[in-house]
Structure 1
Amino acid sequence: MARKKAPVYRTTRDIVIPAGSVVGRAPHRTEYGTPHGDIVVGFDKNAIGDMRFDIEDALNAGVIEVVK
């Protein structure tokens, strides 16, 4: 039986993190009760970060859309 592919999403606009935003230490372990998305952000050629968000919230806010 073939597995159904998970939807693919893309951002609909630039996401800007203002200079001076406070950065807190992330927990060692996290669990999500709802489907979530993850975007990898390149800081430079040797460093990356990531941004996680609730898929439904991001869709409702119009920040992401389903790729067709």
Structure 2
Amino acid sequence: MSDHNYSVTEIVGSSKDSIEDAIRGAIGRASRTVRGLDWFEVTEIRGHIEDGDIGHFQVAMKIGFRLEEPA
């Protein structure tokens, strides 16, 4: 098994429905532009209040992706 080297980037996802949907949406979107996604870590959870109710959930997260070996 070879060693893996990673780069880490931060992204923010949001959803009107749930924290889980915010996470899934952010990872789904990142997976369309970043190859080798391997792990994530939620670093912050926050939201927006509208008229006394939750308007949307927001999650800040770090995602790790494997660096590709040179050709």
Give the TM-score normalised by structure 1.
Answer: 0.27
**Alignment TM-score, normalising by the size of structure 2:** 0.26
Higher share in strand: 2
